[in-house]
A and B are shown apart, each in its own frame.
Chain A
């Protein structure tokens, strides 16, 4: 038997001589730093979720009807009548939220350990493009069930483009193919969601990894193993602090996969809507173009960015400022490699100012998230008494947090460009070498 496999292997290799070297380059002879910690699970987990979304998505497509008259019912049909349809749908919806959990942690890791800095700027930029594509993918997927939240979510997000002076209204009609979200809108979002954006995402992930493997992974110490001493157990010329990705990190990542699947399964079986966070209550009502749900808010992973739209008031007769603020909050992340130019990568050896700023940034992000989810409307009266003017409190609170979010980038720029940062000495090698 082994003989048969070996012969098939040889037969393939003779015809595609590039395959085996490529496998070695990216797996058994890709030397990754030996000090990866928990934060390094999320890249492989993101790939796992991507595969889950594609597989469950294909099966959903088999019973979903992308028309304004049929979409809502077809989703109910999947939930009630299709054998195991509920599981496939919950895997897809839970996967979407967990995708963002994983990607947010993955990005935070990149910020914390300075993984976006030279020479990994391209890895970061490709990652940010993935993030954009992912947001578009998630938004369009959210519209497909054609519930009332889908409808109004689509309306509000598309209207973001309508605030652009002059061309806005025409652009908005162009995106929807009608004067309101309608059949045409749903059809095109379906096409983008199931084919166009997945292709883009897959391509970007391949480029992301190709760019990463060219320069090699960063690590929690932020030291370049390629610049350290050479020679390890497997290769005299490769970094002493590197270990082969396969089998060492494939096995480590499998542990992460196990834990992750445990958590995911728990949510899918016991709390698929996650209290209205992963699947919103108002979306179990069919789309109605005459009635906006009493409380309209996007799914949790968009709320922080969305809160910024709300916090910036309109001026000079246009509402475009809030929208610019929201896009700006993401654009600044793209520019991070050129905003934070501090020479020390990892938070372990950076100045106190950086640690404080990063903490405030994280707090601001969570507060904006809570605001975007309307949690503040619920909790402010409980904390400060029922008689308070919620709009005023929301605005004061939200504007402070918005300023803190943007302030992080301003501070980082000043802190690193003007040389205010006092760093600790960075070790020559990763701290866990033997």
Chain B
């Protein structure tokens, strides 16, 4: 069942690096992260890689495999042929720290720029009432494991470093949409979506949706509806508030 696979792994740091060749054993049922760990244990003890849960739940192990943004722990070796050379490189959009580890602090900055959940001031803990159908839309976006693969693949920042200041990226535009659709959020987020988070840069290529390991329909369910709401000319703040706040009747 075992065979020797050929790997090319990017080794280096901020100053530069190279693709290094390795030949390494692969066993049945293994994922790429298993192979990286085997490299650490046998041939490259100082190979840097980020990971945590090894179950696709934490979003730490993001990298690019044969050029595609993927989770190392959820990419099974059986998806490659035994002859195929497998190339593992760090996320391209973020600065390299070392080997497969990148500096993802961009994402944490963007997270901080999205105005927090703003519940009605007089609503007490224990009195929140929401219907399942009303929370489901936002729940889909809350499946996000913050792997930042969508942030990595989106061409707006992948190919244009200077857009980083004015564009939050699909993950955080989706966060704006999530709060906007939260049945009890009282903030109006439309203007900010456009002016602060750069919703206008997105030209709905759907690349983000394609790489999302949680299969969240980022473009269709978050970004497009948000765009529609932003351009809605008949926006009437009173109607909007009335639609949004659903209180316990008792």
Are A and B part of the same complex? no
